[in-house]
Amino acid sequence: MAHQITADATLRILSDGVKAFGPGIAQLLEGIEKYGSLRRSAAEMGMSYNKAWNIVKGSEACLGCTLIERRIGGARGGGAVLTNEGRDLLTRYRAFEKAGKQALLDLAARYFEGV
């Protein structure tokens, strides 16, 4: 009896061998888009604000661009927004991730058909 064989992978972008962008930072950025806040995005992921901030800063350092802009204080207490570079990178990463996972499924079907 043949089983349905599939494959899965976590895709990350590396810069000089260091993780620069992947599913975690992508989820953080999507949360910033949704909530307008790094703190809230991190909380929704069960992550501390400090850890989230370190992930963002580390990614920015690897990539050489600013991903988010912080808004300090004000009547609504500040927040964060994605820069144009951050939004573009997020869009590109999600497209890359989708295409990569489809390619992996195609390879699994090719090499493991009938297993």
The pLDDT tens digits for 6-37 are 889 999 999 999 999 999 999 999 999 999 99
Tell me the percentage of the chain whose pLDDT exceeds 70: 94
| Spans of all domains in the chain | 21-106
Whether residue 67 contacts residue 31, with contact meaning beta carbons closer than 8 Å, is answered with no
What residue type is 20 in one-letter code? A
Give the Å distances, CA to CA, from 81 to 16, 39, 72, 92, 94. 28, 12, 11, 18, 18
Q: Which residue has the tokens 């661009």?
A: 65
Average pLDDT, the chain: 92
Strands (E), 1-115: 13-15, 18-21, 68-71, 79-82
- Contacts of residue 52, defined as CB under 8 A and 6 or more positions apart, other chains included, come to 28, 38, 39, 41, 42, 45
The pLDDT value given to residue 16:
93
The pLDDT value given to residue 56:
97
What dotted CATH number matches 21-106? 1.10.10.10
Q: Tokens for 69? A: 């802009």
Whether residue 21 contacts residue 59, with contact meaning beta carbons closer than 8 Å, is answered with yes
The pTM (predicted TM-score) of the whole model is 0.88
